[in-house]
Chains A and B, each alone.
Chain A
Amino acid sequence: MAGLTLKHVFKRYENSGKKKQQKNDFAVKDLNLLCEQGEFVALLGPSGCGKTTTLRMIAGLEEITDGEIYIGERLVNNLHPKDRNIGLAFEDYAMYPPLNVYGNVAFNLRAKGVDKGEIDKRVREIAPLMQIDDILDKMPVKLSGGQKQRVNIARAIIREPELLLMDEPLSHLDGKARQSMRVEIKRLINKIKCTTIYVTHDQLEAMSLADKIAIINFGVLQQFGTPSEVYDDPVNEFVASFIGEPPMNILETTIIKDDGTFFFTFQNSNLKIAVPSRYYSVVSDGFRCKMGVRPMDVLVGGEDSKGTPEEIATFENLGDERRIGIRVGDMLLMLITEDEKRYRSGDIIKLEVREEKTHLFDIETGNRIREQG
């Protein structure tokens, strides 16, 4: 077992003469990452952000333009993939169709010349862990998607790698199978305690599985932190709106000063939200920025609420919860309630915002504006 360190890693694909390439010079740009031994790290971002490229560089399937990659203390830049001691599990299963499950799981050990008794012992050890002990003699074509993925992961971990790399292993599965596989993967990694790098575009998967999440956009690392850090304390607008379902409300605002108190105000709306006092040192009368607040932190006030009366634009009953949309100028402010009451669009509610939970973002760069001190 070992940790993983990426130091100033760059990746640039050879220019194939397309204009697009010049604009998007680097697929990965100055990436620094430190994964502790036994940590489960998710690389998360939209498609084309460079997360798979990063994984492939760690695996050695892709050359590094610049920078250093260490597995444990070993610099692996020039090591052949087979010498890096890693386990790989990809989205498509790529099994050997003429071999049964046992043969597929044992294949790598056989290729290495491990003796038969030892192979058998390890396969028998790992099979119950991955819940494939009852399908060991089945052929790949007979397996369901979930079973194939379990075999795939079993194959990756049987070599006892120092590092387990997974690229969207669940994206082929349907909703239910995905949910249960997610739980199984988490339990498995918890048991074998192998350092794991997991690529996904699904924020939910990253949030539910990972110890730490690296959020990447346009080849640049945006934030690296625990799920609750990236959720509660996003560094910029991109991270704030990428994490969470439904996404964070982000509204353009002009801050005004009224009788010594600062308020967020919005174009073509009577909504007025007090600015938390910790921001007083960084805002001023007429200051323009973006305000972010999670739908969970916007509430429907009771009868005697002092909240702003607002008309409901949209109402969605989702069974487990209900979502209300309020027009703020030409933007929509979403809120979630578990209240059983059924509203209709046009109903008036008193809107309350947990002011202390609001975030400020720079209107140009999208960077978080933080309180000073």
Chain B
Amino acid sequence: MARIQLENVKKSFGKVQALNGINIDVKDKEFFVLFGPAGAGKTTILNCIAGINLPEEGMVRFNGEVVNLVDPAHRNVAMVFENYALYPQMTVYDNMAAALRSNLYKTDEETIKEKVHAAARMMKMENLLERLPSQLSNGQKQRVAMGRALVRTPNVFLMDEPLAHLDAKLRNAMRTELKEMQANLGSTCIYVTHDFMEAMALGDRIAIINKGEIVQIGSGDEIYYMPCNEFVAQLMGDPQINILPGEIKESGKGYEFCFQANGQKLAVPMPEEKALFQNIRRAGLKETDMGLRPQNVKYSFTPKEGYFKTTVYSYESIGNKSVIMADCGDYQLRMIAPNGLKIQIDQEIYVSLEVDHSMFFDPQTKEYVSRYDEESIRAFAVEQEVR
């Protein structure tokens, strides 16, 4: 197993700059997730580590050693792809043994048998060894692809959206299994996904990639609670975070957040928090974008103190819960509600913001400025790392 480092890695395809100076340092035994929208450069990073793509600039290091000029076969990496890539004419056993039988490893059949069976046991597919890929379900195929990666002791597992092809039920099950397996193996794993739940569930750390650059690196909690800009805030969380443009104004002793909804001017008092107000003052912001997650917006169907009136834009179930979108003219406010409510589109609804869970962004640069409870969130992140 190995520590994997990328230093200022650049790669372009023709005129397109796919990677623009990537720096990452993946610790030994870490589960490291590369997360971002389609076309961000996630797979290109993986290919640079595997040696499939050669960066034009920068270094790729395995355990400190530069491997830029080492060909893929000799880097000892194990790759798992979205489309399994199994040999159709070989049984599961032979598929798993193929790498060990190659000229590079030339392992004796006795050892191969041992290793294949050990990997099969770990992937819970000992009963499938004699089957051909065509006789397997998609979930089983992906298991074989992973099992094949397990028979060797690679420096690092590189996984490119291995669960993307599976149906929801199987994806859930495999996700939990994968995390258990990696913990048991104590292996370094770099995992590409565009699914935020996978990124959160699997990653010890997550790197957010966009347009060939790293936007933020941190634990799931750090990125969820303190996203470095609005783009990251919107990526993390389903339904998406609400971004409300507004202004922070002094009123009497305290402050209030002033914003507009359907043309009405509204103000909500901001609970006192010294550190937050200091940070906002230091940033010199008057106008600000407030980020508030849908679970921190409350609703009522009757008028209520501290709630403002608006109408329902949509109501839809997202599985175990539902989302109400309230129409605020230029934008819509998302909030969480239970399933099965009797709601008509365009009916009246009263909405309140739990400001003490909000975060603030610079409306020009869209960069993160500060949030409520920042100190305790930082402390919590440190504590998590120690554990």
Contacts and interface: CB of A to CB of B under 8 A. Distances in A.
Contact of A244 (B37, B179, B319, B325): B319
Contacts of A88: none
B307 interface: no
A232 B320 CA distance: 11
A21 B316 CA distance: 39
Contacts of B387: 344
Interface stretch (A105-113, A119-127, A313-321): A313-321
Contact of A245 (B201, B293, B313, B320): B320
A316 B201 contact: yes
A207 interface: yes
Given A247-B168, A318-B201, A319-B236, A204 B319 contact: yes
B295 A241 contact: no
Contact of A320 (B173, B293, B316, B345): B293
A176 B231 CA distance: 13
Interface stretch (A150-158, A179-187, A284-292): A179-187
A330 to B, nearest CB: 9
B320 A336 contact: yes
Contact of A227 (B175, B180, B317): B317
B286 to A, nearest CB: 30
A295 interface: yes
Contacts of A318: 197, 200-201
A209 interface: yes
B265 to A, nearest CB: 27
Contact of B176 (A228, A245, A332): A332
A361 B323 CA distance: 31
Given A316-B201, A317-B201, A319-B236, A208 B320 contact: no
Interface size range on A against B: 35 or more
Interface string A299-332: 0000000000000011011111001010000001
A203 interface: yes
A269 interface: no
A97 interface: no
Interface string A171-212: 000111001001100110010000000000001100111000
A296 interface: yes
Interface size range on B against A: 35 or more
B381 to A, nearest CB: 11
A316 B175 contact: yes
A292 to B, nearest CB: 13
A191 to B, nearest CB: 9
Contact of B345 (A187, A241, A317): A187
Contact of A183 (B180, B196, B314): B314
> Nearest 4 CB-CB pairs, A to B?
A208-B316, A316-B201, A245-B319, A228-B340
19 contacts: A46-B167, A179-B240, A186-B314, A186-B316, A187-B314, A203-B168, A207-B316, A207-B318, A227-B317, A228-B339, A247-B169, A247-B172, A294-B320, A296-B320, A314-B180, A316-B201, A318-B200, A325-B176, A334-B172
Given A174-B38, A320-B237, A338-B295, 15 more contacts: A204-B317, A207-B319, A209-B316, A227-B317, A245-B172, A245-B318, A247-B168, A314-B179, A316-B175, A316-B201, A319-B196, A319-B220, A320-B295, A334-B176, A342-B384
